[in-house]
Amino acid sequence: MKVIKVKDQVEGGKKALEIFSEAKNNGVRVFGLATGSTPVTTYEQLVKSDLDFSNDISVNLDEYVGLSKDNPQSYAYYMHEHLFKHKPFKHSYLPNGMAKDSSLECQRYNQILEDNHVGLQLLGIGRNGHIGFNEPGTDINEKTHRVALTPSTIEANARFFEDENEVPKYAYSMGIGSIMNADAILLEAFGKKKAQAVKAMIDGEVTPDVPASILQKHPNVTVIVDEEAGGLLD
């Protein structure tokens, strides 16, 4: 893994813009995207940039089960507000949180990923080491699947909801196998609460107990960490 240490999240977003720009210059046309608080500054930088995604494809990591794309807490809504309404893509794919048949929805999304090979995948990391919504114990070969969210993940996401009871208990997520298929991976981590997970991901053993540790096996991973998130690294 290539580790880039930055002062803070704002600087991290600027560094991520450089990586997106380089990817486009190298011919990448399919971008895997993430949501949450981590990539906000990256999307801010992309919006302010002169990059044009109108001939490109985006595929998102995950979506809550039970939330429509018009729900302000859905990841489809997040992506529209933070990126797509400013920088539209030719096609933008997300799992359908309102799908009636979860098995068929996973099959549909797996086919999208087969048809649109990801050139650059953006990731965050959870405090328990999850990537996407692949919680500890997830099979490393897993493709898109319906996930029961752990209490720690529900607690971490509760800050986005008025009531923790409103946080969905399930989500669709690209699997670890899906993520590892990307040609290049960019993982961002900011803040002291991510330090232990970052340490385990980079310096620990490869184990299902820390899903992000599998990235040690990928040939092209860049990790951007701020001073707090990288505070435990050698």
SS3 38: coil
Q: Which one from 63, 96, 130, 188 is the annotated catalytic residue? A: 130
- Do 122 and 33 meet the contact criterion of CB atoms below 8 Å apart? yes
Question: Is 135 considered catalytic here?
Answer: yes
Q: Select which of 56, 60, 62, 188 is catalytic.
A: 62
Catalytic choice (56, 82, 105, 128):
128
Is 55 a known active-site residue? Answer: no
Instruction: Calculate the dihedral angle through the C-alpha atoms of 34, 112, 81, 7, rounding to the nearest 10 degrees.
Output: 20
Nearest of 80, 103, 97, 99 to residue 33 by alpha carbon? 80
| Exposure string for 24-40, b = 16+ CB within 10 A, e = fewer | beeebbbbbbbbbebbb
The answer to whether residues 132 and 140 touch, using CB atoms and an 8 Å cutoff, is: no
Helix boundaries (H) for 87-134:
102-115
Query: Which of the following is catalytic: 56, 63, 105, 135?
Result: 135
Residues marked active site are found at: 62, 128, 130, 135
